[in-house]
């Protein structure tokens, strides 16, 4: 057995609540989102978990989520590395639009393809495949070595950047990962073997 990798999607954001495409835009958390982040920390604390290092994106909703979790763990000030490689998928021209308005502009079928296909990007944006192309190298070079040294690593990021990691860790296909939901503020705990394969996975729901 090697180390532990904890993945947490940020708590509900103001734009999640308003049904807007967010991407690289930077809205804050809702009151519910702050509470979801704190609850993630409490769940991890109840398991007796402590992080050795944290990674988060360049967007404040993930950073604040990370701060809440670390506070609940009694680890304020833990070394945290921020990098836009962990940012949410860039939705390009869809960013900031209400999902219903986008459907009126481009048609329901086209918007569904952009949202739920693996490799079709929206105008000016990224597909999930594109997101993975920046997330995976960062994970392999910067995050995984800490886990393989036996450390517990916290990654607070976004639905699609975490989907890219889950896809690789769980060995999912493109079709499978686009159907995989990652809840806001729900810790996913991977314990990895020394060869980086997954020894166990646990989702702390409820």
Residues with catalytic roles: 10, 88
Q: What's the CA dihedral at 6, 203, 177, 23 to 10 degrees? A: -60
Report whether 55 contacts 146 (CB < 8 A).
no
- Cα 99 to Cα 58: distance, rounded to the nearest angstrom: 24
Q: In angstroms, rounded to a whole number, what is the distance separating the alpha carbons of residues 126 and 119?
A: 8
Helix ranges restricted to H, the chain: 14-17, 31-46, 60-72, 99-106, 108-116, 128-138, 144-148, 159-170, 174-178
How far apart CA 88 and CA 9 sit, in angstroms, is: 10
- CB-count exposure of residue 22 (10 Å: 0-12, 13-18, 19+): buried
Residue with the two structure tokens 């519910």: 32
3 closest CA partner among 167, 189, 203: 189
């Amino acid at each position: 057995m090697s180390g532990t990798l904890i993945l947490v999607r940020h708590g509900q954001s103001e734009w999640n609540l308003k049904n807007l495409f967010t991407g690289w835009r930077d809205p804050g958390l809702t009151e519910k989102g702050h509470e979801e982040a704190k609850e993630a920390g409490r769940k991890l604390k109840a398991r007796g978990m402590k992080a050795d290092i944290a990674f988060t994106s360049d967007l404040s909703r993930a950073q604040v989520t990370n701060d809440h979790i670390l506070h609940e763990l009694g680890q304020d000030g833990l070394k945290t590395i921020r990098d836009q490689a962990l940012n949410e998928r860039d939705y390009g021209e869809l960013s900031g639009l209400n999902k219903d308005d986008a459907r009126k502009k481009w048609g329901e079928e086209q918007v569904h393809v952009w949202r739920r296909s693996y490799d079709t990007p929206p105008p000016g944006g990224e597909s999930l495949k594109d997101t993975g192309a920046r997330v995976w190298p960062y994970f392999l070079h910067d995050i995984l070595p800490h886990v393989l040294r036996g450390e517990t690593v916290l990654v607070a990021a976004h639905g699609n950047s975490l989907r890219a990691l889950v896809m690789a860790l769980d060995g999912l296909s493109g079709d499978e990962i686009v159907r995989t939901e990652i809840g806001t503020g729900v810790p996913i705990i991977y314990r990895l073997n020394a060869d980086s394969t997954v020894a166990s996975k646990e989702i702390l729901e409820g």
